[in-house]
Amino acid sequence: MNIDTAPTLMFPALRRSSYRRRLWLLVAGVALFLAIVAGMEAARRAAAPPAAKTSGDVIALDFIAFYTGGHFVAEGRHRDLFDLKAVKAYQDEIAAKNGVNLGHALGPWWNPPFYAWVFAPLAKLSFGTATAVWVAFNALCAAVSCWLLVRMLPAGSGWRTWALVPALMVLSIPFIHALSHGQNACTSLLIVTLAVTAWRADRPILAGVVAGLMAYKPQHAVVLGGMMTLALGWRAMLGMAITGASLLAVTLLTLPGALGDFLSRMPQNVRFVQEQSVYLWERHATLKAFWRLLLQGTEIGPPSAMTTLLTAICTAAIAVLLLRLTPAAKVLNPFDTTDRKSPVNRDRLIAATFLATPLVMPFYFDYDLLMLAVPAVLLAAMKMTDGTITGSRSLDRATLVLAPMVYAILLINADFAEHTRVNPVVPVLAVLMCSVAWPKRSITEATAAMQEPQERPTFARAA
């Protein structure tokens, strides 16, 4: 039998070892690339004449939005959370105390009001100290997330395999941007990793309770909550309702009037930033950002009719593919006998959910793509355990190529998109999501088929 046409499961160690070596080469290449970029930037700054610090020169500047929110709720000014003028005035004051000129830069409060209480204790510290504490906390969240993700790999995975998880994460652009911007992506990663761990352990109420915490960043919670409900049923919904009711009570009792401000003023703030200002569409990994940048560039104004139409069509296609992986697919096709709740098909649904989320959301920055660590590990575990990800050799090959491609593209994505108006990570991520969600038969059946010899030895045919 020709080795090139042999079933994957006949040479698992060979195939696994080869792909693992390629990933370590990717790690080495990315580390070298980042070192060169950092060296060039350091040389540029050393050669540049001294100048006043601006918003682009300060590490973790995004944290100023969280710091502002913490101060406002601690001082009883929670009604100013969504007042852009009050936010701008306070942030200019903080920046001036730290020797920074923000210029026109502004860090609006984008989260539901209750989340500001998280930063009230940090607001008692100086801005520099609070930033350092926040970055350290998020680094710890990332470390715990890595530990949980490694536990999702098959038992007995050697260090050469599991060490790829922290190595690839630390060198990823989403992780670097999350820490350098002072963002909360690492916190989000820990929450969703805990939720997925409970989901895979068949503890729906706990999974729902934990997933409900993502209400602080609704663009992460919508698709995850919906798919979890369709897959796990009313118990998951109950868990999310418990968390949601608790957060709502905190908001109403401790921040009166703030919820109304959030519902009425947040849409206005989004329109002001995205439609009445020059916006960073190249930093978003959404279908809306892809079509907006491609068709309209960064010009000020609302999305065109064509942008809206193409976004809606692509979003509907992604939604249909996701629904095909849930038990709800039997409503569309009563003759479908696939066990949607089997471990392997469950993991495929979880992976597809995280791959689809950034695409269909209207607001999803590149540092939020740190959540893709979850599907990356699940897909790797599926390949190592079952010998297939999708039940199709061609789709498996596509998945194994596209996943590291997304990782590598992010190294240059923002700069490339800014100069060409093409955001390459979005179509590649969309194709990757489709390759994972496309299979027409259950992975269990496909795995069994792949283990059967595709052709008999010559002597057997002769006999």
* Three-state SS sequence of 202-267: CCHHHHHHHHHHHHHCHHHHHHHHHHHHHHHCHHHHHHHHHHHHHHHHHHHHHCCCHHHHHHHHHH
Within a domain: residue 42?
no
Residue 47 covered by a domain:
no
Residue 460 burial by CB count (10 A; 0-12/13-18/19+): exposed, middle or buried?
Answer: exposed
The DSSP H or E segment spanning 80 is none
How many independent structural domains does the chain possess? 1
| Cα 27 from Cα 462, distance rounded (Å) | 49
User: Is 366 domain-assigned?
Assistant: yes
Task: Print the domain residue range for 309.
Answer: 54-448
Let me know if residue 437 belongs to a domain.
yes
On whether the CB atoms of residues 65 and 110 are closer than 8 A, the answer is yes
- DSSP H or E segment with residue 369: none
| Integer Cα distance of 67 and 462 in angstroms | 78
Q: Could you tell me what percentage of the chain is helix, strand and coil, using 3-state DSSP and rounding each to the nearest 5? A: 75, 0, 25
Q: Is residue 188 part of a domain?
A: yes
**pLDDT for the residue numbered 342:** 79
43 domain-assigned: no
* CA 112/CA 281 separation, integer angstroms: 23
Predicted TM-score (pTM) of this structure: 0.88
Q: Tokens 């504490």 sit at which residue?
A: 133
The answer to whether residue 21 sits within a structural domain is no
Tens of pLDDT, residue by residue, the chain (463 residues): 333 433 433 334 335 568 889 999 999 999 999 999 888 888 887 776 765 555 555 556 789 999 999 999 999 999 999 999 999 999 988 888 877 777 777 889 999 999 999 999 999 999 989 999 999 999 999 999 999 999 999 988 889 999 999 999 999 999 999 999 999 999 999 999 999 999 999 999 999 999 999 999 988 899 999 999 999 999 999 999 999 999 999 999 999 999 999 999 999 998 988 888 888 899 999 999 999 999 998 888 899 999 999 999 999 999 999 988 887 766 666 556 566 667 888 999 999 999 999 999 988 999 999 999 999 999 999 988 888 888 788 888 889 999 999 999 999 999 999 999 999 999 999 999 999 988 655 555 444 444 444 443 433 333 3
Residue 387 resides in a domain: yes
